[in-house]
C-alpha cells in the first residue's frame, strides 16, 4: 500500500485528502478453467471509451460498530474475492485498440480519501451542478485516457460525520450499467456473507458468454479527460403518486388507444418535452428539430432470454425524432417510445444486436442529423437495477447516482429512489436551458426538486 499523505483538492471550500492508494488483486489467480483472454463482443467494440462512474452515499449507521478503517479493510477483502469471479475486471488491454483483455490478475486501483465536511453538506454543495468528480480515483469519471490502464477503479471517501461515499468506475468496454449493478451487488453480498460460494451469493455470480476473436479494433481513447462546463446537473424526485397522475393524463389525451404507459416511458416523455421547450424558449421561441436517444437493456429481448447477471454490453438504442411541434405531445412521445421498444424484440444473437446498433449509430452521423446534433437528448433508465440495495454491512445507501455532468451532453438518468417511493431523475442540460427547465410549471406539478 502506498501512503499518499497530503494530496489536497479544494472544491467549494471542502478539503478532500487522498490518504492511501493500492492495487487490489484477485484473491486467487484466474483458474485454468477460464480463458486467459477475454474476447470483447461486437457490441463491446461499439461502446464509448468512457467510464461509468457510480457513487453510493452511506450515512453513519449508529448500529454499526465498524470503524472507517474496518470498512475499508472489509471492502478491499471482499473486492479481492469478487474479482475471482469477475476475473477480467482485474486484467489489462494489451494495447489501446486490441479487441480482447488479458486476464493477467494485475488488479484494480483502490484509493482512500478523507473529506472534512459532513456528508449531507457535501451532497448539498457538490451536487448543485453534479460535480462529484473528486469522489473518483484518477479522473475515472468520464472519458478514458491513454494514461490509465485500469478497467475498474474504486475510491472510498470518509466524511467527518462517519458517512461513506463509495465511488466505483467501470470501463464501458467491459460492460454496461446492468453489468456494473450486478458487480456492485455481488461485491456487497460477498462483504456481507464472507464468501463467493455462500448460498445467498451464488445466484448473483456473473454469467459469461464466450465470444470468438474478431479482427475489429477498439476505438482510440481520448487523449485526456474532457469536461464541458456549460452543462449542469440537477436531481428531481417524482413520487409514484404523481407518476400515476401523469400516466392518467397521457392516456386521457391520446388521440387513439394507448396501452398502459410505464412510469419510465411517461417520465422520459415529460423530461424530453420540457427540455425541448426550454431550448426553444432560449431560442426566441423557435422550435428546432430534436432527437430523443434512449439506451435500452436487451438481455430480456433475446429469443432465448439472458440472465440479468450476463456480463458485457447488451444494449441497443432507440431513436425518437421530433421534427416539428406537433410531434412533441406527451401521448405521441410515449406512443413512439412503445413502437421503438417493439422493434427491439426477437434478438437472435449478439451479432444481430450489434448490426441493429450500428444502423442506429449510422443515422447519427448522417447529414440530416448533423444540423440538429445540439438538439439530442440521451435517456437512460436504471430503474430496477440493484444500486440502492448494495449493503456492505453498514446499511443500504441513502442515495446513489451516476456522475453525468462531465459527459457534457444533454440527458436524463432515471433511478429508483432509495425508499422505492418514486423515481429520481438526474437531468443534465446546458445551464441556460436548465434555468428554464427547472421552473416549468407542468414539470413542477409532478415533482419535487431535491437539489
Domain ranges of the chain: 7-204, 231-449
Query: What φ, ψ does residue 54 adopt, rounded to 5°?
Result: -100, 135
Q: Which CATH class is domain 7-204?
A: alpha beta
How far is 49 from 123, CA to CA, in rounded Å? 28
Helix (H, G, I), strand (E, B) or coil at 139: helix
Whole-Å CA distances, 40 to 43, 94, 184, 212, 349: 8, 13, 21, 8, 15
Amino acid 366: pLDDT: 61
Positions of the chain with pLDDT under 70: 1-14, 126-131, 222-229, 365-374, 404-408, 449-451
Helix (H, G, I), strand (E, B) or coil at 263: helix
pTM for the full predicted model = 0.90
Spatial contact of 400 and 55, defined as CB atoms under 8 Å apart:
yes
Spatial contact of 40 and 99, defined as CB atoms under 8 Å apart:
yes
Amino acid 342: pLDDT: 94
Q: Is residue 10 within a helix (H) or strand (E), and if so which, with residue range?
A: strand 7-11
Amino acid 14: pLDDT: 58
DSSP 58-121: E---TT----HHHHHHHHHHHHHHHTTTSGGGG-B-SSTT-SEEE-----EEEEEEEESS-HHH
Q: What is the DSSP letter of 433?
A: H
Q: Are strands 51-58 and 7-11 parallel, antiparallel or unpaired?
A: unpaired
The angle formed by the CA atoms of residues 165, 222 and 228, to the nearest 5 degrees, is: 60
Amino acid 339: pLDDT: 94
Amino acid 4: pLDDT: 46
CATH for 231-449 (3.40.50.970, 3.30.559.10, 3.30.1600.10, 2.60.40.10): 3.30.559.10
Whole-Å CA distances, 200 to 185, 258, 269, 345: 11, 41, 38, 32
Amino acid 12: pLDDT: 45
Spatial contact of 51 and 169, defined as CB atoms under 8 Å apart:
yes
Give the bridge partners for 159, in sequence order.
Answer: 115
Q: How far apart are the first and last CA of the chain?
A: 37
Amino acid 11: pLDDT: 44
Spatial contact of 263 and 423, defined as CB atoms under 8 Å apart:
yes
Q: How many residues does the chain have?
A: 451
Q: How many CB atoms lie within 10 A of CB 286?
A: 9
Amino acid at each position: 500500500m502506498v501512503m499518499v499523505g497530503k494530496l489536497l483538492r479544494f472544491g467549494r471550500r471542502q478539503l478532500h485528502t487522498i490518504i492511501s492508494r493500492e492495487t487490489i488483486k484477485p484473491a486467487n489467480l484466474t483458474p485454468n478453467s477460464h480463458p486467459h483472454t477475454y474476447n470483447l463482443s461486437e457490441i463491446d467494440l461499439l461502446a464509448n471509451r468512457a467510464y461509468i462512474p457510480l457513487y453510493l452515499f452511506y450515512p453513519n449507521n449508529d448500529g454499526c460498530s465498524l470503524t472507517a478503517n474496518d470498512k475499508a479493510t472489509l471492502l478491499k477483502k471482499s473486492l479481492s474475492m469478487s474479482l475471482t469471479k469477475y476475473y477480467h475486471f482485474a486484467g489489462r488491454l494489451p494495447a489501446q485498440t486490441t479487441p480482447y483483455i488479458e486476464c493477467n490478475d494485475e488488479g484494480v486501483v483502490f484509493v482512500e480519501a478523507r473529506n472534512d465536511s459532513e456528508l449531507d453538506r457535501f451532497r448539498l454543495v457538490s451536487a448543485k451542478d453534479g460535480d462529484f468528480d473528486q469522489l473518483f480515483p484518477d479522473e475515472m469519471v468520464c472519458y478514458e485516457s491513454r494514461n490509465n490502464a485500469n478497467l475498474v477503479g474504486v475510491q472510498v471517501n470518509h466524511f467527518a460525520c462517519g458517512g461513506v461515499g463509495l465511488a466505483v468506475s467501470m470501463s464501458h468496454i467491459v460492460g454496461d450499467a446492468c453489468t456494473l449493478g450486478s458487480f456492485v451487488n455481488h461485491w456487497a453480498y460477498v462483504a456481507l456473507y464472507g464468501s463467493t460460494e455462500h448460498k445467498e451469493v451464488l445466484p448473483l455470480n456473473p454469467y459469461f458468454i464466450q465470444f470468438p476473436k474478431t479482427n475489429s479494433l477498439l476505438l482510440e481513447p481520448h487523449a485526456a479527460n474532457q469536461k464541458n462546463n456549460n452543462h449542469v446537473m440537477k436531481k428531481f424526485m417524482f413520487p409514484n403518486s404523481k407518476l400515476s397522475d401523469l400516466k392518467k393524463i397521457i392516456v386521457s389525451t391520446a388521440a387513439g388507444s394507448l396501452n398502459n404507459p410505464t412510469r419510465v416511458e411517461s417520465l422520459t416523455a415529460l423530461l424530453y418535452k420540457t427540455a425541448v421547450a426550454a431550448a426553444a424558449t432560449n431560442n426566441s421561441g423557435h422550435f428546432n428539430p430534436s432527437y430523443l436517444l434512449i439506451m435500452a437493456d436487451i438481455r430480456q429481448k433475446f429469443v432465448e432470454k439472458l440472465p440479468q447477471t450476463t456480463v458485457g454490453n447488451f444494449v441497443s438504442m432507440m431513436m425518437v425524432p421530433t421534427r416539428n411541434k406537433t410531434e412533441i405531445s406527451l401521448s405521441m412521445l410515449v406512443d413512439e417510445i412503445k413502437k421503438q421498444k417493439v422493434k427491439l424484440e426477437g434478438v437472435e444473437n449478439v451479432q444481430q444486436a450489434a448490426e441493429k446498433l450500428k444502423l442506429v449509430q449510422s443515422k447519427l452521423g448522417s447529414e440530416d442529423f448533423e444540423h440538429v446534433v445540439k438538439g439530442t437528448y440521451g435517456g437512460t433508465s436504471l430503474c430496477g437495477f440493484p444500486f440502492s440495495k448494495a449493503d456492505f454491512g453498514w446499511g443500504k445507501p441513502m442515495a446513489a447516482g451516476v456522475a453525468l455532468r462531465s459527459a457534457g451532453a444533454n440527458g436524463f438518468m432515471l433511478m429508483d429512489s432509495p425508499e422505492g417511493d418514486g423515481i429520481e431523475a438526474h437531468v443534465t442540460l446546458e445551464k441556460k436551458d436548465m434555468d428554464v427547465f427547472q421552473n416549468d410549471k407542468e414539470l413542477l406539478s409532478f415533482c419535487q426538486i431535491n437539489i
